[in-house]
Amino acid sequence: KAGVTQTPRYLIKTRGQQVTLSCSPISGHRSVSWYQQTPGQGLQFLFEYFSETQRNKGNFPGRFSGRQFSNSRSEMNVSTLELGDSALYLCASSMDRGPEQYFGPGTRLTVT
């Protein structure tokens, strides 16, 4: 079974731009969660989607948003990028909101 895939793997953007990241979960997994990983703050939860609905949201500003499609693929969007948004963005999937989550390789976003 293929693992969680994320595209693109690397991105360089300029302050003020927006970015969209994509995640394809493991086949059969319907829950997708997003996390931000930085050296200072560690791993922080962004949001979770299940059956195209946002179920949980972390403590991030409204510039961070996401969605999930009927095939369980998910995208997250960050608008008006700031330097502090530079991070590794990780996607994780699980079966029917089960607690065991499997992570993708992440998208490394650099904001200049």
Partner 1 sequence: AQSVSQHNHHVILSEAASLELGCNYSYGGTVNLFWYVQYPGQHLQLLLKYFSGDPLVKGIKGFEAEFIKSKFSFNLRKPSVQWSDTAEYFCAVTPVGGNNRLAFGKGNQVVVIP
Q: Please give the residue ranges that form the binding site for partner 1 (CB under 8 A).
A: 31, 33, 35, 42-45, 48, 50, 55-56, 58, 90, 92, 94, 97-106
Two tokens, residue 89: 């963005």
- Least separation in angstroms between residue 10's CB and partner 1 is 13
How far apart CA 42 and CA 22 sit, in angstroms, is: 21
How far apart CA 1 and CA 10 sit, in angstroms, is: 24
Q: Long-range contacts of range 2-5, CB-CB < 8 Å, 24 or more positions apart? A: 2/26, 2/27, 3/102, 3/104, 4/91, 4/92, 4/93, 4/102, 4/103, 4/104, 4/105, 5/104, 5/105
- Least separation in angstroms between residue 69's CB and partner 1 is 19
Q: Which is nearer to partner 1, 19 or 91 (CB)?
A: 91
- Least separation in angstroms between residue 14's CB and partner 1 is 27
Q: Which is nearer to partner 1, 66 or 104 (CB)?
A: 104
- Least separation in angstroms between residue 60's CB and partner 1 is 12
Q: Which is nearer to partner 1, 48 or 85 (CB)?
A: 48
Q: Which is nearer to partner 1, 19 or 29 (CB)?
A: 29
